């Protein structure tokens, strides 16, 4: 008998108020984050039921999903969308909940601004009525997506009734190769084990390649756990996370910070602790990945060809929808548009890597290329570094922050039938507009493809040496040495 515990057990047990039997626990919820699409529904329904928010200081809201992202935006282009915005404004005001609204300098995609503002903290529980809430586990939190009704319950009681998930450790051993990123790690995992491979589990990502990821890379990896069917995912927090959080708006300060740090440093799986399931992936064997079908599991290394039959289920219809042939090479397939954004890949580190590739180059003729920063803070930081100019000079549209064309809600969208290469997390039918054919990949792959005008391998597009710029060699070296390596 061992007393070794997994990090999951430590996080979970610290929040269990009561065991409710049948595998369910009553769990204390430290933070609730809402967005206008589903949060407005929860707030309205809570108010209508005559219940109230017990502790508004633990609840935050943002407008991100349906806000327009065109420069000079005033509201939303989504038909009927204004009602969601109005409900969010009205109900958060009445309940005393802090709202990061469109004009707020801290506005952005919920899973991007939560870490930026240190609303999510190591060891905390955070819920949000959004399936990609698991992204935030990158900071060592237990963060998961819930429904609107559960959000009401969490706001009214500070608790939730939750089935205790199984534990799974996914270890990426070794180091990533050149031009390979956290997005490729996630797609390789999902392609190997299927879109339901993580079902019913809380995943701890571990191993050398995970520890070597920067904060942004860890957020990307945990974000994609939603596409792996997992309840949530996290990475044991380390100094990378603590350094990032220090001094941020809602981070503890003074003696509270020191006490937090002492507690956070214990947030790791003990040696000898066992998991319900273990998966080991060889990081060195991961290549830049690209999806070919209509599920993230329909993904292959970018230089591979589309698998040949037999197909089953969604994969069988996928090729029709995607207008591709079995055995076809993905490389060189002409594209119509490129999109860089979303809670998966729209942070400053993502944009810097994109800038390194597009600098001195231009988007191919006839290609629509759009970059949407994940938050207003990312947008400002990118502009302060001048990388917005690099994007615009290269022919990319540079937008205001929000979910934007990550998902089609009836407003902005790509043309029907367009083949879009996208740094987002979902390639479902119609995800980016009716009939739109989405290929998901890393931001580097999207950038290289936008320039090539066809699906391209980012390893074939190293940064160009800039005349008179002594840093060019360093940039090229950083790229070939593994873009996300610290």
Q: Which residues bind ligand IPM (CB under 6 A)?
A: 37-38, 65, 130-132, 145, 407
The helix/strand/coil state of 156 is helix
Q: How far apart are CA 297 and CA 299, in angstroms?
A: 5
Residue number, 268 or 343, with CB nearest to ligand SF4: 343
- 455 binds, options ligand SF4, ligand IPM, none, Cβ within 5 to 8 A by partner type: none
Residues 65-84 that bind ligand SF4 (CB under 6 A): 65
Q: How far is the CB of 145 from ligand IPM (least distance, A)?
A: 6
Question: Chain-centre distance of CA 320, in angstroms?
Answer: 28
- Does the footprint of ligand SF4 cover residue 186 (CB under 6 A)? no
Residue number, 333 or 345, with CB nearest to ligand IPM: 345
Question: Chain-centre distance of CA 39, in angstroms?
Answer: 19
* Token representation of residue 80: 């009927």
Residue number, 283 or 354, with CB nearest to ligand SF4: 354
Binding region for ligand SF4 (CB under 6 A) out of 23-31, 183-191, 402-410, 438-446? 402-410
Burial 65-92 (b: 16+ CB within 10 A, else e): bbbbbeeeeeebbbeebeebbebbbebb
- Does the footprint of ligand SF4 cover residue 425 (CB under 6 A)? yes
For the chain, helix (H) and strand (E) counts, in that order, are 16, 19
Beta bridge partners of 278: 169
- 142 touches 122 (CB < 8 A): no
Beta strands in 75-185 (DSSP E): 98-100, 125-128, 142-145, 159-163, 166-173
Q: How far apart are CA 207 and CA 205, in angstroms?
A: 7
- 185 binds, options ligand SF4, ligand IPM, none, Cβ within 5 to 8 A by partner type: none
Q: Rounded to 5 degrees, what are φ and ψ at 57?
A: -70, -20
* Token representation of residue 85: 């915005």
- 342 binds, options ligand IPM, ligand SF4, none, Cβ within 5 to 8 A by partner type: ligand SF4
Residue number, 25 or 68, with CB nearest to ligand IPM: 68
Residue number, 343 or 377, with CB nearest to ligand SF4: 343
How many binding residues for ligand SF4 (CB under 6 A)?
11
Residue number, 25 or 68, with CB nearest to ligand SF4: 68
Q: How far is the CB of 191 from ligand IPM (least distance, A)?
A: 20
Q: How far is the CB of 208 from ligand IPM (least distance, A)?
A: 30
- Does the footprint of ligand SF4 cover residue 342 (CB under 6 A)? yes
Q: How far apart are CA 150 and CA 145, in angstroms?
A: 10
- 109 binds, options ligand SF4, ligand IPM, none, Cβ within 5 to 8 A by partner type: ligand SF4
Residue nearest ligand IPM, CB atom distance:
131
Residues 124-143 that bind ligand SF4 (CB under 6 A): 130, 132
How many Cβ atoms are within 10 Å of 470's Cβ, its own excluded?
A: 7
* Token representation of residue 20: 């409710």
- Does the footprint of ligand SF4 cover residue 399 (CB under 6 A)? no
Binding region for ligand SF4 (CB under 6 A) out of 3-11, 243-251, 306-314, 403-411? 403-411
Q: How far is the CB of 130 from ligand SF4 (least distance, A)?
A: 5
Q: How far is the CB of 313 from ligand SF4 (least distance, A)?
A: 23
- 399 touches 373 (CB < 8 A): yes
């Amino acid at each position: 008998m061992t007393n070794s515990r997994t990090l999951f057990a430590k996080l979970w047990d610290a929040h269990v108020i009561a065991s409710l039997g049948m595998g369910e626990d009553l769990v204390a919820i430290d933070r609730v984050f809402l967005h206008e699409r589903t949060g407005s529904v929860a707030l309205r329904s809570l108010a209508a039921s005559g219940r109230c928010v017990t502790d508004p200081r633990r609840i935050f809201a943002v407008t991100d999903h349906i806000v327009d992202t065109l420069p000079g935006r005033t509201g939303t282009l989504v038909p009927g969308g204004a009602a969601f915005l109005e409900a969010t404004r009205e109900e958060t005001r009445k309940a005393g909940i802090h709202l990061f609204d469109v004009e707020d300098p801290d506005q952005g995609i919920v899973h991007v601004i939560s870490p930026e503002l240190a609303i999510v903290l190591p060891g905390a529980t955070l819920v949000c009525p959004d399936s990609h809430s698991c992204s935030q586990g990158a900071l060592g939190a237990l963060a998961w997506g819930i429904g609107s009704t559960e959000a009401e319950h969490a706001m009214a009681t500070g608790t939730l009734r939750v089935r205790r998930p199984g534990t799974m450790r996914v270890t990426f051993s070794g180091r990533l190769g050149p031009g390979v990123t956290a997005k490729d790690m996630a797609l390789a995992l999902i392609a190997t084990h299927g879109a339901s491979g993580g079902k019913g589990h809380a995943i701890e990502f571990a191993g050398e390649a995970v520890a070597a990821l920067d904060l942004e890379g860890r957020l990307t990896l945990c974000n994609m756990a939603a596409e792996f069917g997992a309840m949530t995912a996290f990475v044991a927090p380390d100094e990378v996370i603590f350094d990032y959080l220090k001094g941020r708006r809602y981070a503890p300060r003074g003696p509270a910070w020191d006490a937090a740090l002492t507690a956070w440093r214990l947030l790791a799986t003990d040696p000898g602790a066992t998991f319900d399931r273990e998966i080991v992936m060889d990081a060195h064997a991961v290549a830049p990945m690209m999806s070919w079908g209509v599920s993230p599991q329909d993904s292959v290394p970018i230089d591979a060809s589309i698998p040949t039959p037999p197909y089953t289920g969604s994969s069988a219809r996928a090729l029709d929808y995607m207008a591709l042939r079995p055995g076809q090479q993905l490389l060189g397939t002409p594209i119509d548009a490129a999109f860089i954004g979303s809670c998966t890949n729209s942070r400053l580190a993502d944009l810097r890597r994109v800038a390194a590739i597009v600098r001195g180059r231009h988007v191919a003729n006839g290609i629509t290329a759009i970059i949407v920063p994940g938050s207003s803070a990312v947008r400002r930081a990118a502009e302060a570094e001048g990388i917005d100019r690099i994007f615009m000079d290269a022919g990319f549209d540079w937008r205001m922050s929000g979910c934007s064309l990550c998902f089609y809600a009836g407003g902005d969208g790509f043309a029907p039938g367009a083949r879009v290469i996208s740094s987002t997390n979902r390639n479902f039918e119609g995800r980016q507009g009716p009939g739109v054919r989405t290929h998901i990949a890393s931001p580097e792959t999207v950038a290289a493809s936008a320039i090539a005008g066809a699906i391209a391998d980012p390893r074939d597009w190293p940064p160009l040496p800039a005349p008179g710029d002594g840093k060019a060699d360093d940039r090229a070296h950083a790229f070939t040495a593994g873009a996300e390596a610290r």
